[in-house]
Structure 1
Amino acid sequence: MAEREPALTGRKGPGGVLRRLLARPRVAAAVERFAPRSVRTRTTLAACASVAVVLLVASAAVLLVLRVNLQRTVEAGAREQARAVARIAAEGRLPAQLPLDHGTDFIQVTDRDGTVLAASQNLAGHPALAPGADGGRGTFDLGALGDEHHQRVSTLTADTPTGPVTVRVGASLHTADTAEDLTTAALGALSALLVATVGVLTWRTTGRALRPVEAIRSRVAAIGDRELDRRVPEPAGDDEIARLARTMNAMLDRLEAAGVRQRRFIADASHELRSPLAVLRTQLDVAHTHPDPEVRAAMVEGARQDTERLQSLAADLLLLARLDAAGDDGPRTGVDLAELARTAAGARGPLPVAVTGPPTLGVTGNPLWLGRLLTNLLDNARRHARSRIEVRLAAEDGRAVLEVADDGPGIAPADRERIFERFTRLDDARSRDDGGTGLGLPIARDIAALHGGALTVEDAPGGATFRLVLPLAAPDGP
């Protein structure tokens, strides 16, 4: 017996209509125009789309497995029925009417000429079934049954005493189709429910997660340039949003501190400029109206000194502005700190300056600004030293160390940071008559910070010591 198990004609699905529609320029432009711009909406749509794709693939796999198993079961029943009929035909005991098993729609046995030799009761008296347009692979003209049937047809060829015969057994797929339709509907309803649930949960969860972000945004939008004391709300926990809020508040702290420093600097600068300008105008008025030439000469000399002081103050203010302008520290080159210290110490002053340490000490930086740093430190020491100023150089742990020590009155521990504030003068050690502007040490510390170093003051026996630490220059390659 030869056995053929034809497959059914597959169902035709819809074409790529949506793909062709989206390919049109106007439709693509409309889709882009109406695309959601909210993070909440985009996140919800992305979650729903992802879950829908997963459910679609999973449902398709389930339906495919179910369909294959159901068809295999129906096919096995039809094939078993066909084999039983073929055995009867081979034994020559083929009756004219054949009984149907459960799930079998029809049985028909024909000879090589197409003459019906036996059939089930529903095909009794009917001619041989004609194959359909698919060449007999599974679709037959079953108009004799009075209805169209979706069937699985098994065809066997058997040798009989009167010649070969063809046995066709059709098994109904109605039960399999019904089960597949019910499963499809159930999976569709369940998938829609799951997608809707994921959408609702994602929408609510995203909204709850973004609520602190919206609070931060609205608070930042409400903060004006004169309301830098306000802060954004910090949510509990240590997630990304909480860290964002803390970072925003830290930034607002820095902005507020910068604003306070700027206002204080402007007020101090205005005060510092107002006093010498008032004195200068008074001196010029007296010199202009006083009849005594000697008095006029003295007034003009005093005016010249105040003008020099104003010039020095304006230069210091300009330098501070440059130091505050985004780290504009000029070109960086190799600098011999020891040579720079000896040059600064050799400048004329009321007291000699002793320099000790290695003959060379290389650092990287702006030589003009580093020279200004050393000059400021030595000028400060000359104003307060009694009889001795010493500059000590050393290299320690990859750092260049420069110390400027004097035997002056020293600096109290409570004032060791305050002296680096702008326009600060200690009452017992500094005055306007000393020629200082109160900007030398702040400028020196800012220059040190721009070069990656630090400037501090330490107490010493019989005076004060300013300690400058800078990174050593990298050694030249081979």
Structure 2
Amino acid sequence: MTRLFGSVRARAALAATLVVAVALLAAGTAVLLSLRGGLESRADAEADAVARQVASRIAARIPYADLDLPDGDDHPVQVVDEDGRVLAVSEGLEAVSGTGTSGVTPLHSPAPEPEHDDQAAEAAESGELAEIDWHGQGTATVDGERQEYRFAGAEVTDLRDETVRVYAGASLAAQQDAVRTASGVMLAGFPLLLAVVASVTWLVTRRALRPVEDIRREMAEITASADLTRRVPEPATHDEIARLARTTNETLAALETSVERQRRFVADASHELRSPIASLRTQLEVAAAHPALLDLDGAVEDTVRLQRLAADLLLLARLDAGERPADARVDLSALAREEAAGRPMVTVEAGPAGPAGAEVAGSRGQLGRVLANLLDNAERHARSAVTVTVRRDGDRAAVVRVADDGEGVPEADRERIFERFVRLDDARSRDEGGAGLGLAIARDVAVRHGGTLTAGEAPGGGALFELRLPLA
């Protein structure tokens, strides 16, 4: 049972069935109430007409014995005086309730001879004398059969000049039969209609979710096979499921690219580490066999190279893991002067340090690493001079430009140089050119700080690197 209702399809069918059930129940109740109210109003109208007719005859001074009251089966009538004494009732009326007086036995008393009154007779024929002033519901027993009735009441003056009340009823049997029939039809049809709604919802939901099941199945196979080149099927529609499939494929593509990048990174890192480790091992083996031939400076140099490469790889791993930079305030002008110290070829053109300078928020160590890498790269390719310019770009960004007077970077390679382990001069030795990680680290750090790092052409024809960071 839990597994069944754990399905989206089952939950959708159940929810749709419940909603339709509630709607049908509300609609059915409204229909029954409307039907009952309409038939009740119709019964009131019938009772009104009978009450007016009887009241008009009484107003015409017709004796109670000659009233010719309607049949009690359809319209029971009761006439009472102000003291509640019964003056006239319909034939066959045995009991009545709801009119205020339960008596059904007329009071026999001699009545005066009626006087001829043309005005009263004319008013009685027009039915304008009696006004209905009361409605109620009760029961009446006629010829041994008890039924419910709607009663109407009116006051009128009789031939004795006394005020009497006329109660006339209209049967509610038709109303009850109609309501009973409608209720039976609804009770019989509701379960069938709910079954149809549940079945249709189940089938429609099954059809709608079939692409989702195909996506799930393909993702399970991709997970089991670890083959990230596969893609989930995309429905030829423009709905949410199609967008889900496209997003899933985009995620798989990004994951494939990331995994491939990681594999290439590991392979390149292993290749780069092999050279200094092999060189250091060779020197140590030679020193072990021939201590006099130990190249101590070369061993120290290889160790330093190995240490720098390990530090670069560790920093890249931390950047790839999404490590957030520190939130310290760093003045780029002061940082540029610190990194340029001890570099004879480098000239710094920067504004004053402090609040008026180019302050950014981030890690001082990582931003210093960016400037150091850019200066190392510029010194490696410059002929005679490297210029560092630090300025503010309005109130939004700080800009650091590092330009050299070397050969420059070809336009086609200005993005490629930021890839890891890329060297434009493949013939250059690793001792001179490094591992090809400096610019990649610089860009990654810039992006993590919300900035950009781009390559261009310097005014003197050399390379120009522009670092743009948001102001603190």
In which range does the TM-score fall when normalised by the shorter chain?
A: 0.7 to 0.9
- Supply the AA of the counterpart residue of 2:250: A
SS in 2 for 1:148: strand
Number of aligned residue pairs? 429
Q: CA deviation at 1:110?
A: 7.0
Counterparts in 2 of 1:267 and 1:135: CA distance versus 1, 3 Å: farther
Q: How does 1:419-430 map to 2 (within 5 A)?
A: 419-427=417-425, 430=428
Q: Counterparts of 1:417 and 1:356 in 2: how far apart (Å)?
A: 26
Counterparts in 2 of 1:395 and 1:380: CA distance versus 1, 3 Å: same
Range with bigger deviation, 334-343 or 79-88:
79-88
Q: CA deviation at 1:197?
A: 4.6
8 Å CA contact 1:97–1:119 kept in 2: the answer is no
Q: Is 1:85 aligned to 2:32, yes or no?
A: no
Instruction: Name the counterpart of 1:100.
Output: 70
| TM-score when normalising by structure 2 | 0.79
Instruction: Name the counterpart of 1:269.
Output: 269
SS in 2 for 1:402: strand
Instruction: Name the counterpart of 2:465.
Output: 466
- Supply the AA of the counterpart residue of 1:384: H
Instruction: Name the counterpart of 1:14.
Output: none
Alignment partner of 1:340 out of 335, 351, 356:
335
Q: How does 1:343-354 map to 2 (within 5 A)?
A: 343-348=338-343, 351-354=344-347
- Supply the AA of the counterpart residue of 1:76: A
- Supply the AA of the counterpart residue of 2:95: L
8 Å CA contact 2:137–2:148 kept in 1: the answer is no
Q: Which sections of structure 1, spanning at least 5 residues, go unmatched?
A: 1-29, 474-478
Q: CA deviation at 1:240?
A: 2.6
Range with bigger deviation, 274-283 or 224-233:
224-233
8 Å CA contact 2:57–2:67 kept in 1: the answer is no
- Supply the AA of the counterpart residue of 1:229: T
Instruction: Name the counterpart of 1:234.
Output: 234
Range with bigger deviation, 331-340 or 197-206:
197-206
Instruction: Name the counterpart of 1:38.
Output: 7
Instruction: Name the counterpart of 2:285.
Output: 285
8 Å CA contact 1:88–1:94 kept in 2: the answer is no
Counterparts in 2 of 1:429 and 1:353: CA distance versus 1, 3 Å: farther
Counterparts in 2 of 1:156 and 1:275: CA distance versus 1, 3 Å: same
Instruction: Name the counterpart of 1:206.
Output: 205
Q: Counterparts of 1:282 and 1:34 in 2: how far apart (Å)?
A: 65
- Supply the AA of the counterpart residue of 2:465: F
Q: Counterparts of 2:36 and 2:169 in 1: how far apart (Å)?
A: 18
Q: Counterparts of 1:429 and 1:420 in 2: how far apart (Å)?
A: 19
Q: How does 1:117-196 map to 2 (within 5 A)?
A: 119-120=90-91, 122=92, 129=95, 131=97, 138-140=137-139, 142=141, 145-154=143-152, 160-161=158-159, 169-188=168-187, 195-196=194-195
Instruction: Name the counterpart of 1:66.
Output: 35
SS in 2 for 1:355: strand
Q: CA deviation at 1:375?
A: 0.8
Q: CA deviation at 1:459?
A: 3.0
- Supply the AA of the counterpart residue of 2:273: L
Instruction: Name the counterpart of 2:17.
Output: 48
Percent of residue pairs bearing the same amino acid type = 49
Q: Counterparts of 1:98 and 1:80 in 2: how far apart (Å)?
A: 15
Instruction: Name the counterpart of 2:315.
Output: 319
Alignment partner of 2:368 out of 363, 366, 371:
371
Counterparts in 2 of 1:439 and 1:115: CA distance versus 1, 3 Å: closer
| TM-score when normalising by structure 1 | 0.78
Residues 207-230 of structure 1 deviation map (CA, whole Å, 9 limit, x = unaligned): 333222232233223322832222
RMSD: 3.4
Alignment partner of 1:305 out of 281, 298, 301:
301
Range with bigger deviation, 251-260 or 107-116:
107-116
8 Å CA contact 1:358–1:393 kept in 2: the answer is yes
Instruction: Name the counterpart of 1:418.
Output: 416
8 Å CA contact 1:430–1:436 kept in 2: the answer is no
Counterparts in 2 of 1:428 and 1:82: CA distance versus 1, 3 Å: closer
Residues 124-174 of structure 1 deviation map (CA, whole Å, 9 limit, x = unaligned): xxxx636489975754562x6133323334566665457777755443222
Counterparts in 2 of 1:92 and 1:469: CA distance versus 1, 3 Å: closer
SS in 2 for 1:129: strand
SS in 2 for 1:372: helix
Instruction: Name the counterpart of 1:476.
Output: none
Q: Which sections of structure 2, spanning at least 5 residues, go unmatched?
A: 103-135
Residues 414-447 of structure 1 deviation map (CA, whole Å, 9 limit, x = unaligned): 3322222222222267321216122111111111
Alignment partner of 2:405 out of 386, 404, 407:
407
Q: Is 1:386 aligned to 2:383, yes or no?
A: yes
Q: Counterparts of 1:85 and 1:53 in 2: how far apart (Å)?
A: 48
SS in 2 for 1:56: helix
Q: Is 1:432 aligned to 2:444, yes or no?
A: no
Range with bigger deviation, 217-226 or 159-168:
159-168
SS in 2 for 1:468: strand
SS in 2 for 1:183: helix
Q: CA deviation at 1:370?
A: 0.9
Instruction: Name the counterpart of 1:13.
Output: none
8 Å CA contact 1:425–1:431 kept in 2: the answer is no
8 Å CA contact 1:103–1:171 kept in 2: the answer is no
Q: Counterparts of 2:407 and 2:89 in 1: how far apart (Å)?
A: 132
Q: CA deviation at 1:381?
A: 1.8
Q: Counterparts of 1:353 and 1:184 in 2: how far apart (Å)?
A: 96
Q: Counterparts of 2:65 and 2:275 in 1: how far apart (Å)?
A: 134
Counterparts in 2 of 1:384 and 1:424: CA distance versus 1, 3 Å: same
Counterparts in 2 of 1:102 and 1:418: CA distance versus 1, 3 Å: same
SS in 2 for 1:104: coil
Counterparts in 2 of 1:346 and 1:115: CA distance versus 1, 3 Å: closer
8 Å CA contact 1:361–1:400 kept in 2: the answer is yes
